[in-house]
Amino acid sequence: MFFVIYSHKMAQTSPRPVFPPLGTLRAFEATARLGSVTAAADELCVTHGAVSRHIRSVEDWAGVQLFERLGKRLKLTDQGRAYCDALSPAFDAIASASARLKDATRRKRALIINALPTLAMRWLLPRLAHFQTLDSNIELRLQTSDEPVTRMGKGSFHVAVRREMMPLPKGFVAAPFLAESEIPVCAPKLARALKLKTPADLARATLLHADTRPAAWSRWLAAAGAAKVEQSATTQRFDHFYLALQAASDGLGVALGPLPIIADDLASGRLVAPIKGPALPSRGYCWIVPQELVDDPAVVAFCDWLVEEGK
């Protein structure tokens, strides 16, 4: 009876390479393909002497002559030609694989953002160019919808932007990034024509309602101590909030404008806020991400950017 003991060192021993170093093979293949050591040296950005040493190294390793040296000229031997014919496709395959790998690292990551229409048009879209300057490897694809995220399916978006919701749907992660408050706004000409200054003056105006915010005017008028105004003022309804804001810009009536969503409209003078009344806090905005994407680098980058912009 006998025992064979294998040491850990023996088990970890690497097999002997079955081909010469890759650099020497590149030098041989380039010389054989181009028919010149000088041309091979230029292609590989090395010296003439380095290419010659690499070729001799391959010949020494193989124990065969790969070139016949006729003065300054080189001619492939039969064995050298056969070896070159086998190596060239292999190097082509390596070059092709390397190009695909490099192209893949340069390809932009698509990030689907699904946002509420009014926020997308009035606040998010004007700021997206700034995000692209911060991370040019992320291609943003903006979609608009007011549909609940639970009906959309997780695979249809990476980040959703909705008004704050409680409780949060199961399987999602969310965080607030933008607070909101509402004030009455209208076109400058309408404010002057109706001499709008106090909440009671709104009885002379058309109140523009949005189906997506059905109780907004009732809340604001109650907070302003002018609840009776809603009974006497004329009204006009729109199915989307951004249509009510556009109607206000066009002089059709007075809408409740959310700050800071309408900040650019106020700054440009497209809208004015003539009524002395409260800036009534309303539900702010949050980003919502499927649980499985919460650590995705592109998702994290965009959500962090939203928080910074919201400040």
pLDDT tens string 171-192: 899 999 999 999 999 999 999 9
Place of tokens 């064979």: 4
Classify domain 8-106 at the CATH class level: mainly alpha
Q: Give residue-wise pLDDT tens across range 32-72.
A: 888 888 888 888 888 988 888 988 888 888 888 888 887 77
- Asked whether residue 3 carries a pLDDT value surpassing 50, the answer given is no
Q: Give residue-wise pLDDT tens across range 76-116.
A: 898 889 988 888 888 778 877 776 666 555 567 889 999 99
d(CA 264, CA 169): 33
Instruction: For residue 38, give both structure tokens.
Output: 């000088």
* Higher per-residue confidence, 48 vs 205: 205
β-pairing, 280-290 vs 206-210, is unpaired
Q: Report which residue type is found at 32.
A: A
| Cβ pair 254, 198 in contact under 8 A | no
β-pairing, 73-76 vs 67-70, is antiparallel
Instruction: For domain 109-178+285-310, give its CATH number from 3.40.190.10, 3.40.80.10, 3.40.50.2300, 1.10.10.10.
Output: 3.40.190.10
Give me the pLDDT at residue 272, please.
96
Q: Which pTM does this prediction carry?
A: 0.61
Selection from 113, 165, 126 nearest residue 262 by Cα: 126
Give me the pLDDT at residue 103, please.
58
Alpha carbon distances (Å) from 32 to 19, 55, 103, 142, 290: 18, 10, 29, 54, 56
| Cβ pair 257, 134 in contact under 8 A | no
User: Per-residue confidence at 11, pLDDT binned at 50, 70, 90?
Assistant: very low
- Largest CA-CA distance found in the chain, in angstroms, rounded: 113
Backbone angles phi, psi at 20, to 5 degrees: -65, 170
> Residue 195: helix, strand or coil by DSSP?
coil
- What is the domain partition of the chain in residue ranges? 8-106, 109-178+285-310, 180-282
Angle (nearest 5°) at CA 144 between 141 and 148: 115
Angle (nearest 5°) at CA 154 between 150 and 158: 115
Selection from 126, 230, 147, 247 nearest residue 190 by Cα: 247
Instruction: For domain 180-282, give its CATH number from 3.30.530.20, 3.40.190.10, 2.60.40.10, 3.40.50.720.
Output: 3.40.190.10
Radius of gyration of the chain (CA): 36
d(CA 11, CA 6): 7
Domain 109-178+285-310 shares a fold with domain 180-282: yes
- Asked whether residue 19 carries a pLDDT value surpassing 90, the answer given is no
Give me the pLDDT at residue 38, please.
86
